[in-house]
Structure 1
Amino acid sequence: ADARDFDDAVWAEADRGSDNPGGFRAIVAIADVAHYVRPGSALDREALERGNSVYFPDRVLPMLPEALSNELCSLKPDVERACIACHMRFDAGGNLFQWRFTRGIMQSRARLVYEDVQKAHEGDGEAAPRALIEPLFALHEKLAEARRRRGTIELELPERVVEIGEDGRIDAIRPRSRLQSHMLVEEMMIAANVAAARTLADRRLPCLYRVHDKPDALKLENLAQYLEHLGIGWSRTAHKPADFTRLLQRIEEPALREQVSTLVLRSQAQAIYSPANIGHFGFNLRRYAHFTSPIRRYSDLIVHRLLI
């Protein structure tokens, strides 16, 4: 419900191919910002200068003019829009094994908020069309299973919503519920981002990777000392992403688990953009790029241009 940009659409169904029993087909369609923002144009120069959209509790400083971000590049229902679509196939274990990118015109069936999608999945047939939603949740279960097998860093840091009153002052700060519908979209976006990075690597083309290095030894030593102070034993030699997740899973008390999640986050390297690929430590991926948000991140627009 809090999404500010409507630049992506998702679809999934069971794969009917005899070569992929138990698998899924999926499409992630992203607004074709590159169709409107041409390299070197005034729009492009201003977007590059801004770099990203900036979101405040009560306003947005957009990277692109609202005529693009809220209209021409907004995937509104029942309106034709230019898009770049990532067509993917996943096996029964949730592993991405085939993908391709196409440029075309799409028409969204519906604009749904996360809460309504979750309600439909839980049985409220009036909240959203279940026939469209259930294959997405079934695919998400496979993707979540593959993520657990891969071993990633899973922090427990609830996002907060800042509520601003009419006088411009903060009225309240409350935790935002994290629903399965949120995680569903997140996993599909990650899969499309992986497909983008792998496509450019396979074509031997340059790519602006989103890279996340391993934590350095000093930060791990500091983390171990903090944990000892809290009475939590932890090996200083732990260095795999899943080791940090297992650490958090051992902590039963929610407030302490959130506190340790913050310590783990501070022990990590900062993710950056780079043309040199070193992989993504937190996601435990060999290649990763940002493709799914060209309305609000210039990095994604660069990747779109490289793909097309």
Structure 2
Amino acid sequence: MAPSLIPHDEINQLLQEPLNIDDRQQVLGFTIDGETSKDLDDALWIEPNQSGVIISVHIADVTALVPPNSQLEQQAFSRVETRYLATSNNPMFPRQLSEDKLSLLEDKPRWTVTIRITLDEAANIKKTQLLSTHLNSIKKFSYVSADKTLNDPSQPLFQVLRYCELWAQKLALKRQKGGAFGQSTIAGVSLDEEGRLIETPLYHSQKIIQEFMVLANTAVASLAEEHRLPILYRNHTASAIAPESKLLIETLNNLGLPELVRQRLQSWLNPATYSPALVGHFAMSVGAYTHFTSPIRRFADYINHRVLKAVFIEQKESPYTVEELQAIAKHINDKRQEIKEKRNEHFREERLAKTVTILNKKANITTLSDKEFSQIIKDSLKVSKLDKLVPEAQQRLENRTLKPSDLYYLVFGEYENPDNRTLIKDELLNHLKEQPTLATQILQIAATIGQTTVDYLDKKMTSGKFAFWTVFDEKTTSQPSIASNKQTARHQSNCNWLQGKLEDKLQEVTAIDQTALNDKIIEESPVSAPATVVNEEPLDLSTVSSEAINNPIAYLHTTLQRLKLKNPVYSYNKIDDQWRCCCQVQWLDEILIETEALGQNKKEGKTQASLKAIIELENYVVNEEFPIE
């Protein structure tokens, strides 16, 4: 295939061609899309059955109208996909087709391919059918109008949308339990199907579309896999350093900050690609995945329609050999990468040009939103240094509106004039002393960007207090931070490290002055070293309910929520072939309860540590020692 110009007579011929719907089954459906979207690929319908539900996803039957090897197809091949710009788009097919004759417009007869999926009550796929159908869409919802309908029982499609939402939630929960983090929310951040951050919050109806499209793509891929049919599978893999998906999700949830989540995922995940060779999809946690639901906008979907329609609807052979599919996949992958690089370069140049303009006109800096100022801090280091931002950074520091990532750049960024770092230092240190956890977040960002770790050396004093030194970039402070619990000591130690960084007073780890402690020290290993053995003694379960014994982890979470306390904090160490889990329950900024337990795996250790915490928590409540009104 090669790109070519499209003669208008070919388009006009397709526009004038009548749609014969006599030999196609009529189906019900409605569309939900963006407010200004006109290229509507897909419509939905849902109906209950005796054992679960039948979900129908109706897809525009583009390949029934666009002839194979036509100039229209050649241009779509050259473009690969519709490109969405800030205020417009560059469609894969001409607008007369993509926004009219092919689009599933309201109350317009359209040829469709229906994926009819039967689910049981547990949302397992029991049957998948591909059908040649025709649709008159009964309603064009925008995400806004669909969300309004979801909250208005007087609307005609309220019950249908509510039922869709119920099953979308079931599908999402099932995927997440299976280890999927693609098309999910992790640490409060929405991710797309490849684990990339989605900046814009999702509408409720958008989540319905998301889950139903994932279901359709998964069902079709599984059908192809079952019949060993080469199609353009969507493969996604993790890098060698990535943890398995469930541990990855746990790690991301513990990170909390969107910037840390983004950076960690970038280092763990490879780009998704198309191929007739099935590899699987890591982020979606499925053995087979594909793209089928957007043939107006993506050429891969268009090709998959040709293959799957031929085999499962027309009972014919696939129109493509494996070699032809490989060539098409390579072209799509290469073109998408080229588009991505050009887009990134364009946005990068645009941002840097804007940064230079703003830095040269200091008056503009004060009008920037918090998000814009964050970007300017980051980009300014690529075109100059931070000096011109210091006055505004000082003001925003005083107002406490800077994010941890902003503070990271202020600490680790370069200044032309050292006095400017000094101006920033005092207010920054005041901020960190007010919120010591920020210091920990800043160092986490630094470690993630530098692809390294923050380590600690800790000493337990005979008074029961803890002394901590933060070790980062092979540097530490001359004096430890001392507090009554480890977490507070760790946060304070991180504050001290950042102060040493700002004042250029850090030193080599070997220069630690242990005589600075005026109390006898009980030597302990560094935090990163193997932990000592935990002596497991029989637990006194006399005060513990059967519900707590059966599911200690869930019971502990529920109890802490009832008492208006934070969720427990878990940490793990490997000891020979066992896992030690430490469970901390906090009240205010102090550790109220800290338990440890061994297990053959992390879950077993976590379960036992939670059970121990429940016992201690019960004792607090029984003895009326619990410090809550």
Question: TM-score of the superposition, structure 1-length normalised?
Answer: 0.81
| Displacement of 1:120 | 1.9
Contact 2:255/2:261 (8 A) holds in 1:
no
Q: Which residue of 1 aligns with 2:280?
A: 279
| Displacement of 1:117 | 1.5
Contact 2:231/2:276 (8 A) holds in 1:
yes
Q: Secondary structure at the match of 1:64?
A: coil
Q: Does 1:114 align with 2:182?
A: no
Q: Secondary structure at the match of 2:106?
A: coil
How many Å separate the matches in 2 of 1:120 and 1:243? Answer: 38
Partner deviation per Cα, 1:246-271 (whole Å, 9 max, x = no partner): 2222245xxx2x11221133121110
What amino acid does structure 1 have at the position aligned with 2:253?
Answer: Q
Q: Which residue of 2 aligns with 1:146?
A: 174
How many Å separate the matches in 2 of 1:157 and 1:131? Answer: 29
| Displacement of 1:158 | 5.7
Contact 2:102/2:296 (8 A) holds in 1:
yes
How many Å separate the matches in 2 of 1:3 and 1:102? Answer: 29
| Displacement of 1:204 | 2.6
Spell out the pairing of 1:149-188 with structure 2 (5 A cutoff). Answer: 149-153=177-181, 154=184, 155=186, 157=189, 176-188=200-212
| Displacement of 1:198 | 1.7
Cα 1:2–1:177 shift into 2, 3 Å: farther
Which has the larger displacement, 90-99 or 76-85? 90-99
Contact 1:193/1:290 (8 A) holds in 2:
yes
Contact 1:27/1:85 (8 A) holds in 2:
yes
Could you list the runs of 5+ residues in structure 1 that have no partner in the other structure? 160-174, 221-238
| Displacement of 1:83 | 0.5
How many Å separate the matches in 2 of 1:214 and 1:177? Answer: 26
Spell out the pairing of 1:216-231 with structure 2 (5 A cutoff). Answer: 216-217=240-241, 220=242
Contact 1:33/1:73 (8 A) holds in 2:
yes
Spell out the pairing of 1:264-275 with structure 2 (5 A cutoff). Answer: 264-267=264-267, 268-275=269-276
Cα 1:10–1:43 shift into 2, 3 Å: same
Q: Which residue of 2 aligns with 1:246?
A: 250
Q: Which residue of 1 aligns with 2:262?
A: 262
Q: Does 1:134 align with 2:162?
A: yes
What amino acid does structure 1 have at the position aligned with 2:247?
Answer: D
Contact 1:94/1:145 (8 A) holds in 2:
no
Of 27, 32, 51, the residue aligned with 2:80 is 51
Q: Does 1:10 align with 2:44?
A: yes
Could you list the runs of 5+ residues in structure 2 that have no partner in the other structure? 1-33, 192-198, 310-629
Partner deviation per Cα, 1:38-62 (whole Å, 9 max, x = no partner): 2211111111011111110111111
Q: Which has the higher helix share?
A: 2
| Displacement of 1:137 | 1.1
Cα 1:45–1:204 shift into 2, 3 Å: same
What amino acid does structure 1 have at the position aligned with 2:41?
Answer: D
| Displacement of 1:178 | 1.1
How many Å separate the matches in 2 of 1:247 and 1:3? Answer: 38
| Displacement of 1:284 | 0.2
Report the RMSD for the aligned CA atoms in angstroms. Answer: 1.9
Q: Secondary structure at the match of 1:98?
A: strand
| Displacement of 1:244 | 2.1
Q: Does 1:28 align with 2:57?
A: yes
Q: Secondary structure at the match of 2:111?
A: strand
| Displacement of 1:35 | 0.9
How many Å separate the matches in 2 of 1:263 and 1:198? Answer: 32
Regions of 4+ moved over 6 Å: none
| Displacement of 1:3 | 6.1
What amino acid does structure 2 have at the position aligned with 1:263?
Answer: Q
What amino acid does structure 1 have at the position aligned with 2:211?
Answer: E
What amino acid does structure 1 have at the position aligned with 2:46?
Answer: A
Contact 1:93/1:145 (8 A) holds in 2:
no
Q: Does 1:297 align with 2:282?
A: no
What amino acid does structure 1 have at the position aligned with 2:246?
Answer: A
Q: Secondary structure at the match of 1:210?
A: strand
Identity of aligned residues (%): 30
Partner deviation per Cα, 1:130-178 (whole Å, 9 max, x = no partner): 032122112112112211211112445569xxxxxxxxxxxxxxx5331
| Displacement of 1:202 | 2.4
Spell out the pairing of 1:201-212 with structure 2 (5 A cutoff). Answer: 201-212=225-236
Contact 1:13/1:136 (8 A) holds in 2:
no
How many Å separate the matches in 1 of 2:82 and 2:189? Answer: 23
Cα 1:264–1:96 shift into 2, 3 Å: farther
How many Å separate the matches in 2 of 1:295 and 1:88? Answer: 22
| Displacement of 1:242 | 2.3
Of 117, 123, 132, the residue aligned with 2:152 is 123
How many Å separate the matches in 2 of 1:242 and 1:122? Answer: 34
Q: Secondary structure at the match of 2:69?
A: coil
How many Å separate the matches in 2 of 1:6 and 1:297? Answer: 12
| Displacement of 1:124 | 5.8
